[in-house]
Amino acid sequence: MSSNGSLDAHLSKKTSFLGLKLWVLIGLCVALFIVLILCILSVWVTFRRRSKRTADTYPLSQIPNVSKDIKIDRVGPQSFQDYPESVFLTINEKPANKNPDTALVHLATSKSDPDNLSQCSSVYHHERGFSSHSGEVGSPGAIQKNHSSLSYGGLVTASPLIGLPEISHLGWGHWFTLRDLEIATSRFAAENVLGEGGYGVVYRGRLVNGTEVAVKKILNNLGQAEKEFRAEVDAIGHVRHKNLVRLLGYCIEGVNRMLVYEYVNNGNLEQWLHGSVRQNGGLIWEARMKVILGTAKALAYLHEAIEPKVVHRDIKSSNILIDDEFNAKVSDFGLAKLLGSNESHIATRVMGTFGYVAPEYANTGLLNEKSDVYSFGVLLLEAVTGRDPVDYGRPANEVNLVEWLKLMVGARRAEEVVDPNLKIKPATRALKRALLVALRCVDPEANKRPKMTQVVRMLEADEYSSREDRRNQRSCTTSTEIEPVKEVSGSGDMKNKVDDLESHRSKTTGA
């Protein structure tokens, strides 16, 4: 009792600080401490919110962010670049999910930013309940790009990842873990190797929901993996076209960089033209032209329908995949470059494949879409002749396909250039049209080369006229000798030569 009394007396004693009593001073100190803690907490919360908003507003062309807000099972980073490798390791060391269906995908989206959501939903419209086959714009299940600059002529495909969580509002971007892809490819088994390119090995795989995929494991050679990865993602991550291979997602884990594509089941054009099937005729003429036309449409889309335009930089036969209906699927965007509408060209290191690279780009390093047009011309000549663009096994004047072609056409021997493995030769007119389109594309003067939309039109006109030809061949036995194209140096006016063909057609069909 007496000790309580002395404590009271002690607490009630006046202190030297403003003459306040001791208990008042203690109370003040405690209150100050609480206020301080609250301040620190609120500063921390504000800082966290702000950094989250920054991460949510990365441009579409960048690798999409994976927000913590919507995730299927694991913790995901805000943006891949923001995290040191050790963080990826931590994330991926988490135990695998018990339910693989839900473990497969991370959504690259954030609920928390309504502005971002509405901006993106004006670009993409998802319709649910689709089939795994590609669909035309507007067909059930199609993912339709409504943005005017993205809706040009391209058929779009439905997501084949049925049964998996919805794809991100960024329009693409399933984030696979290394484990997902190990399971899909039987731990990257040798028997699943589809082929090896300059930048990595491609494996065939099957996702847990049954979707067949091709997994490109990019070699980690001095940062090239990162460049290749970003180039592919920037070029085709958010575009859809019936004739472009579809990029379904990616894997970033430690030093691993992998890209996951739709699996295209009928080989590539190089295998069809130069592989073992070629002795039996390989691809018939019509199939070759269908593949070529599809490739032209894909390039027209990349060059003229999207902003920034995409220059592929490595158009060649092994990069033209073929499906079971002989639709072309342009692949391998590892060297692709983006070109803004205000840029006539960009200066870049000369890359590509020998024999396909445009001379002005090889000489100066200045690149624009006309370089792809040149490579496309070489590809078309390859499809017509069945020859490699450069073949040192041939006589000196035949080593370079383009030069040989010009010689042959100049010498009125165009008929002789057709692939000898073709059992049924193309109609004369179809052959001439293909050759003239190709020669215009390989014009040494880049600005004289046609745009890819013009190429598409010329090839489509040919498709129409070959159908007519076949009808006429049945009713009329008159032989049509190939008329020589006098000037084929490439610098001459190739349009006139196409016009020559038109008059030739009028003569032979009596139209």
Ligand X SMILES: Nc1ncnc2c1ncn2[C@@H]1O[C@H](COP(=O)(O)OP(=O)(O)OP(=O)(O)O)[C@@H](O)[C@H]1O
Phi-psi region of 84 (alpha: psi -120 to 50; beta: other; left: phi over 0): beta
Cβ of residue 40: shortest distance to ligand X, in angstroms? 52
Q: Is 264 in the site for ligand X (CB under 6 A)?
A: yes
Facing residues of 218 across strands? 200
Nearer to ligand X, 56 or 232 (CB): 232
Q: Is 217 annotated as a binding residue?
A: yes
Q: Is 321 in the site for ligand X (CB under 6 A)?
A: yes
Spatial distance between the Cα atoms of 72 and 55, rounded to a whole number of angstroms: 19
Cβ of residue 315: shortest distance to ligand X, in angstroms? 10
Q: Is residue 79 within 8 Å of 139, Cβ to Cβ?
A: no
Residue 340 structure tokens: 């803004």
Q: Is residue 493 within 8 Å of 457, Cβ to Cβ?
A: no
Q: Is 268 in the site for ligand X (CB under 6 A)?
A: yes
Q: Is 319 in the site for ligand X (CB under 6 A)?
A: yes
Point out which span in 72-80, 257-265, 291-299, 490-498 binds ligand X (CB under 6 A). 257-265
Cβ of residue 215: shortest distance to ligand X, in angstroms? 9
Nearer to ligand X, 82 or 196 (CB): 196
Point out which span in 75-83, 314-322, 374-382, 446-454 binds ligand X (CB under 6 A). 314-322
Q: Is residue 438 within 8 Å of 297, Cβ to Cβ?
A: no
Q: Which of 314, 419, 443, 469 is catalytic?
A: 314
Nearer to ligand X, 316 or 370 (CB): 316
Spatial distance between the Cα atoms of 63 and 229, rounded to a whole number of angstroms: 10
Size (the chain), residues = 511
Residue 124 structure tokens: 């993409």
Q: Pick from 88, 172, 176, 261: which binds ligand X (CB under 6 A)?
A: 261
Cβ of residue 335: shortest distance to ligand X, in angstroms? 8
Q: Phi first, then psi: what are they for 366, rounded to 5°?
A: -85, 125
SS3 322: strand
Q: Is 232 in the site for ligand X (CB under 6 A)?
A: no
Cβ of residue 196: shortest distance to ligand X, in angstroms? 6
Cα 192 to Cα 204, 211, 228, 360, 389, distances in angstroms: 5, 15, 22, 39, 29
Q: Is residue 452 within 8 Å of 460, Cβ to Cβ?
A: no
Closest CA to 323 of 125, 509, 132: 132
Phi-psi region of 60 (alpha: psi -120 to 50; beta: other; left: phi over 0): alpha
Q: Pick from 323, 332, 369, 462: which binds ligand X (CB under 6 A)?
A: 332
Q: Show contacts with ligand X in window 188-217 (CB under 6 A).
A: 194-200, 202, 214, 216
Q: Is 260 in the site for ligand X (CB under 6 A)?
A: no
Nearer to ligand X, 153 or 195 (CB): 195
Residue 248 structure tokens: 């379904």
Nearer to ligand X, 198 or 410 (CB): 198
Q: What is the CA radius of gyration of the chain?
A: 31
Q: Is 263 in the site for ligand X (CB under 6 A)?
A: yes
Cβ of residue 383: shortest distance to ligand X, in angstroms? 16
Spatial distance between the Cα atoms of 185 and 187, rounded to a whole number of angstroms: 5
Nearer to ligand X, 264 or 289 (CB): 264
Nearer to ligand X, 245 or 378 (CB): 245
Cβ of residue 244: shortest distance to ligand X, in angstroms? 11
Q: Pick from 116, 168, 185, 318: which binds ligand X (CB under 6 A)?
A: 318
State yes or no: is 314 an active-site residue: yes
Binding mask 29-68 for ligand X (x = CB under 6 A): ----------------------------------------
Point out which span in 260-268, 304-312, 361-369, 486-494 binds ligand X (CB under 6 A). 260-268
Give the start-end residues of each E strand in 66-199: 124-125, 134-135, 144-145, 156-157, 174-175, 193-197
Q: Is 331 in the site for ligand X (CB under 6 A)?
A: yes
Residue nearest to ligand X (CB): 197
Residue appearing with tokens 């295209």: 264
Spatial distance between the Cα atoms of 444 and 455, rounded to a whole number of angstroms: 17
Q: Is 245 in the site for ligand X (CB under 6 A)?
A: yes
Cβ of residue 221: shortest distance to ligand X, in angstroms? 13
The site for ligand X, by CB under 6 A, has a size of 22
Nearer to ligand X, 240 or 406 (CB): 240
Closest CA to 9 of 17, 18, 21, 27: 21
- How would DSSP label each residue in 65-79? P--SSS-SSS---S-
Those residues whose C-beta lies under 8 Å from the C-beta of residue 60, and which sit 6 or more positions away, are 120, 170, 171, 238
Q: Phi first, then psi: what are they for 132, rounded to 5°?
A: -80, -5
Cβ of residue 82: shortest distance to ligand X, in angstroms? 29
Nearer to ligand X, 177 or 319 (CB): 319
Q: Phi first, then psi: what are they for 498, rounded to 5°?
A: -65, -40
Active-site amino acid positions: 314
Q: Residues annotated as binding site?
A: 217
Q: Annotated binding site for ATP, which residues?
A: 217
Binding site for ligand X (CB under 6 A): 194-200, 202, 214, 216, 245, 261-264, 268, 314, 318-319, 321, 331-332
